[in-house]
């Protein structure tokens, strides 16, 4: 039914439907399943997301010891009334962190679009829930809207850190979330696309450099920033601000940047933060090795 964002927006606009509805119809056409079956599966995904957020907010620690507990710290900070950038954004950040801390602790999450970027969509969803008071059906629609934009990115660029860097994972997730926030807040399909474009173009070039090759540092905090990026971009789009570069061209640019990005910066743990002295020390400590690649023995 649609191959890119322009076609997606055109379908939604001409048929006077929400993007989430276009995505549901496409799923029905492609999979041959009924609307009821498709909605039921997404409801299951939503439940998994909700449980992960709740678990993370209660506090978890990863087996490596690299991550855990930051979601709890953020919630305590919000409750102190001293936050500078607003409770809704920080709530989204804390819930994104909570999800990724659960992932790092080997818990169950829903990849959106990947495990390493799983915090942004649910983090923003459960933060704006308190403000917009959506029904369960509207929350499920949020996931279909984010899925529609993820579908376009996956089929025209990449959602893999190994193929395109973290811009393809957290960048894509943040764009997906921003578009879904806009629809839930009453924005138009065109505004959803603007939110996606604004978000993604501000995360272009983001490298994938996991310390010790684990999806923890800096992955968890990148989900935090992705959630904040998505929230701000959604507000910008709802305010009527547009991206001078169309969404599909931003996605294409991301793909080309990923193609030219050095292999050392694409999930190999050979460059970036993973290659810093502290990154290498943490790697050696976690795996119990006196010498790791990239360093010379003395």
Binned average pLDDT, 10 residues per bin, the chain of 298 residues: 97 98 98 98 98 98 98 98 96 98 98 98 97 97 98 98 98 98 98 99 98 98 98 98 98 98 98 98 92 45
- The residue among 202, 240, 206, 237 whose CA lies nearest residue 222 is 206
Q: What is this structure's pTM?
A: 0.96
Whether residue 228 lies inside any domain: the answer is: yes
In a domain, 227, yes or no: yes
In a domain, 130, yes or no: yes
- Asked if the structure places residue 129 within a domain, the reply is yes
Position 150 in a domain? yes
- Judge whether 23 lies within some domain: yes
Nearest to 246, CA basis, from 1, 6, 11: 6
CA distance 176 to 195: 9
Domain membership flag for residue 295: no
Quote the CA–CA distance of 291 and 284 in Å, as a whole number. 7
- Tell me how many domains the chain contains: 1
Q: How far apart are CA 16 and CA 168, in angstroms?
A: 30
For tokens 């490298």, what's the residue?
207
For residue range 76-109, what is the model confidence (pLDDT) as tens digits?
999 999 999 999 999 999 999 999 999 999 999 9
In the chain, count H helices and then E strands: 13, 0
- The beta-strand segments (E) located in 2-136 are none
Q: Which CATH number characterizes residue 41's domain? A: 1.10.4100
The domain in which residue 208 lies consists of 5-286
**In angstroms, rounded to a whole number, what is the distance separating the alpha carbons of residues 175 and 167?**
10
Q: Answer whether residue 291 is part of any domain.
A: no
């Amino acid at each position: 039914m649609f191959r890119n964002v322009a076609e997606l927006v055109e379908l939604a606009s001409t048929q006077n439907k929400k993007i989430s509805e276009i995505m549901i119809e496409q799923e029905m056409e492609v999979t041959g399943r009924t609307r009821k079956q498709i909605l039921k599966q997404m409801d299951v995904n939503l439940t998994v997301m909700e449980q992960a957020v709740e678990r993370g907010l209660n506090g978890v620690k990863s087996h490596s010891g690299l991550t855990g507990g930051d979601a709890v710290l953020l919630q305590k900070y919000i409750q102190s009334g001293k936050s500078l950038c607003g409770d809704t954004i920080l709530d989204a950040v804390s819930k994104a962190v909570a999800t990724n801390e659960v992932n790092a602790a080997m818990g169950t999450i829903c990849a959106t679009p990947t495990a390493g970027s799983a915090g942004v969509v649910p983090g923003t969803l459960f933060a704006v829930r308190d403000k917009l008071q959506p029904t369960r059906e509207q929350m499920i629609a949020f996931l279909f809207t984010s899925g529609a934009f993820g579908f376009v990115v996956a089929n025209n660029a990449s959602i893999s850190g190994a193929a395109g860097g973290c811009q393809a994972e957290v960048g894509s997730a943040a764009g997906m979330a921003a578009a879904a926030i806009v629809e839930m807040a009453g924005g138009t399909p065109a505004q959803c696309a603007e939110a996606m474009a604004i978000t993604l173009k501000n995360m272009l070039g983001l490298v994938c450099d996991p310390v010790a090759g684990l999806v923890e540092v800096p992955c968890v905090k990148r989900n935090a920033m992705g959630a904040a990026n998505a929230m701000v971009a959604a507000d910008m789009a709802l305010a009527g601000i547009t991206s001078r570069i169309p969404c599909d061209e931003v996605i294409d640019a991301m793909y080309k940047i990923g193609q030219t990005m050095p292999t050392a910066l694409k999930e190999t743990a050979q460059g970036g933060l993973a290659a810093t002295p502290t990154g290498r020390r943490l790697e050696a400590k976690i795996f119990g090795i006196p010498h790791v690649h990239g360093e010379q023995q003395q």
